[in-house]
Structure 1
Amino acid sequence: MHRARLASTTICYTPELLHDELLYSWLCRLAILNAWGTGRDAVRKIFGGRTVTPSLTLPTHFDAMNERYAGALPHDSFAALMEASTLLPYHRPFLDHERYAQLMEDSRSSNSLDLKLRLGLVANRFGINTPHRFCPACVAEDIEMNGCHYWHRQHHLPGVNCCVRHSLQLQQQSVPKEGLFGQPLMYPGLPSGEECITPECGFQFRFAQLSADLLLAALPPINNADRSNVYRNRLSAKGFQSSRRSLDYQLVATEVRHYFADFANFQHQSRLLQTARSPLRWIEDLVERPDRSLHPICHLLMIDFLFGSIAEFSLAVDAERSSREATRGSAHAIPRGETKKSLQVPGLEIEHLLRNPSLSCRQIAQQTGKSVGTIVKYRRQRKIEVKERRKFVGAQTRTSIGHDLLSGLELQSIALRNGVSVQTIYRELAYEKGTKLHRQRSLFMAQRTSRRDRWMGVLKTPGVEGISKARSLGFSDYAWLYRHDRSWLLTSNAQYRKSVSTRGTVNWPARDQELCSKVLTRMILLLRAEPPMRISVARLCSGLGQSSQWRRDKLPHFKALLSRFSETPESFRIRRVNFAIDFLVQRESDIKLWKIQRAAGLRIWPADLIAYAQRRINEHT
């Protein structure tokens, strides 16, 4: 039975795995080229069951595929297949060795949701369902070079919305639903023919390039402690270390927001900024809680801010790993019974060393186990002269840096103008608290002026009428101004608010007289109706238009007529009885109560109504 099932799914043609192609895309082409279709039947032939949901970026059930088609897969090795056709190399550097091994084991049999749960993608709230994206220019190149187009790995990296190769915005293809088990295999369609859009934000392209570099770097799993130390050391080198040797994460968050311009137009902006009480909390988690599973997007943003490239980050990790191994090898150098903490110099002795002019900062650093930058910082805080050397920043350069910081220039521009590193600029900014405050104020004023100008430009745009339309176009500027410059915003918006048309003054006496005449006409028509209908206020006003429902307090005569002509249920029943008696009198000489009840068509006959009908019968007999 099992052999017959395998024979029914024999592969007639096996395509090659193309450059940067996802395994999901290769399975789509395999199913189409072998005339299996792309629905649930193709899924059954590939995985052996219709309930398997193929994952776009992190495929699973490798053992099931390998058992059915041993030797037909693009790679014989499971590790090589995951390396070449999935996004696993993108996630791997931020996993420890134990978690990565468990992840590889789960990929053989578990479903994709279990895999994403283990990676922490569900808890991170960055989204777990990757949309199907493609670049129109890449589609044209693929068809020209390979005769077909396919899904690319780099187009499906989280948070990426532009093509690194062509600098074009990616287009998204909708996913149809089939049955109860989600999406089937879906082959990429052709571009819609719309004009290709180039992303306006340079951050989007830089982030896409950094994500692609991480995917292609194929970094191994990084020890959590090594990664945390790399982040901590680089932040300390940039001057974010406080006087207590702890990192000032509030200052780091401020600089990160300024560096990335509050992640404007980024699809995960709200998730990254989080709340005002704890902005960019993930930065502290990256350093202080390395065991926590954070999305690679957070790591990439930190790498961009601290290192600028994946290559520099990889070198820093290698150096940290080598340092840790060297420290572990020389652990016997510490005397027995003592720890590193017991070898630290007491605070009073550090103070004595700092005020000893015969000792250089480097000598004090060697004796105390602290960095040279920390000793220099301590001495400058105590107004102790620090001897300048050729490799350090001189007084004239420091003054120039201070002026540039107050002017609000970018830190990288200041470093280029003064011929120093960006780390030196961060260090100088940390030394001078007054300069930092003045710079923050200067940057705030510059940002306020820029956002004011952009918002006024939106208000003056042709075709924009009203504040609601302007907010839909300049929502980020409006939100920032509403939070930081509300009084100016409300004052400026007052003259651009959409004017509300005012109606003319109503001549209420004339309208009252007009409605009275109409209700009299309506009353005559209702009295002539056969069989009789109850004359209610709603029926009297039904043909008079909506104006009869408005402001009846200004229509006294009309209101009085409605109250006078409207019938109660009791009076309406009496009128129906009279109509029935008159109808029977014209056609019959013998009038009975049951005949009146049938002709009147009333369901409710109270005792007083029966008595009234009986009196009318007696009058005619």
Structure 2
Amino acid sequence: MSVAMPLPYDGESLYSVIARYLEAANITAPTFALNTLFGTVARPKKELICSLAEFSRQTDLAWGLSALEIAQRYTVAPYYAVYSTQSRRTAAYAAITARDGIAPAVILQVNKSPVARNAGLRYCPRCAMEDVLEGRRPCWRRVHQLPGVFICPYHRVPLLSVRDPRATKSGVYRLDPAEHVSSWRRNAEVQTAMEISADALVRSEPQPHLRSAETEWLQLAADRGFVKANGYVDTEAIVNGLTEMYGGAYLEATGLDMSRLQPNPWPARLIRCRNVAFHPLQYILLGNFLERCDNTARRIRADLAPSKARVVCPNQYASHPAGHIIDHIRTSRTIAGKSRYHGHCRCCGIHFTFSGCSADTNIPNDVQVTQYGKDLCGAVQTMRNEGLSFPAIERAMGLPPRAARRMLQRPDEKPRARPTREQLLEWRCEWKELLRSVAPEGHLAAAMRNKYLYNRLCQYDKEWLTQCAARYENLKNQNVASEWARRDQAYKIRLQRAAATILSAGPSLVRASKVAIAAKAGLSVRRMSIRHKLPLCDAVLAELAESAEEFQVRRLEAARQTLVTADIPVTRWKLLRQAGISRVKNTAVAATVDRLIDRHSQSQSD
């Protein structure tokens, strides 16, 4: 059977073409139609990286394309293939043209990655408007669905997202993510990463300049000065460089954020592990970072000299020309000890913070606006006078939700009253209680638990909060040994109670292993990083843990009691069946079986 599938538009995804076909054919239950198109009962994912042999046969008269040509032109398969090894790429292309076998998405490991997948389908409002002006149905473009692409590469505007294609009829959409897209548009490295991702869609084979799975990453890192003299990779320098180059918000949005607490972050694994498949976005970000670095100096400046720095104003709606140098920069330290820079442009009135800037462009990275200034407020007022709503203004300018409404508040409104001395003391007590609840963690964990209280103290009582953090850090270093000793005593009692509960439970018996005892107590004391700090817990677990033979003996005794209660003769095969033991291979277990049978025989004779 041949299907009259509509011809795809330039850059359209196969998912969009099928959606237009189902809409034109007025098919309300697409399950049967999809099964017919793909020749399978398993519904493929929205990327449609699957076997397209049956689909190519059904659309041969309309399109005249092979399965491989359809995959390369209208799916995101080339994006994953060009960054894979030659063997995986060949196997994936063979699976696309085959009618059965392993799915190409499994070979390319599309779904096995820490990279965050798009919750819905993304589209560019200007691309959709161009489709309407050309007299055709707006379509989903495959470049907009790539992981890590939040800005249209053609129009440089933020992409909108819908969770369901049918939701566009009711206008249900959201900006993803709203508060950071404006800063990503000013970050040249983020733009470069998105352009490399879009360029991978038009390539069927990897190019020499692409950093893929076949690249000697360890040698490349050594050439850029990221391998120490002892042969170890300088993980901290790479993690800090990636975070400052792309910004923590972008890495978090893509699911590739790295914490200092991670013992083995993904850049270190990618550099050290050979013949291990990673996501294309990981290759793109790390490859672009290493390309921008040289062997003598890092291209990302970790510290700026405030008196000598020349930083470009990030305000795109300012009255001054582009490339204007801001007037004032000061440095502050966060509770974690990191540097944070505060910039102020007197010409447009904007106040913002940033983590650093590129050495060759002087463009600030990871910009967070604290005061918008008169020029931004004037631009919002102009768009408001033109009849645009506040959400529309925020989407167009890349502002956080409700920011446009706050910018147009009347200046005669009363400012928020400063807290009284009693309120500050109350907040301090709440913060101390919060620190006790998250102990032995510090101020960062408390700030994550209650950001509202942390922000209030930072705004109105920052000096006390900084001193409290310093005191807590010193106290933590002094009392860490006594704290672990106290926890060791408390955990030992909980482990003993958990073991007693497991041994006395019934009728379903559970082996009192070390893992089971720790799980019953709700403790994680088996980790290698803390076992040496809890010697009592380690000794108690070794003493209370039940071996496999002891567990079989306990099951046999419980089985004998069950048979006696039910007035059933205790024989060997009945005893073993009741205990769930197929074969007796241990002498102690065999002796227990004989002893229980003899005891039952003696009781019957008496």
- Name the TM-score, length of structure 2 as normaliser: 0.47
Instruction: Report the structure, 1 or 2, having the larger strand content.
Output: 2
Larger Rg: 1
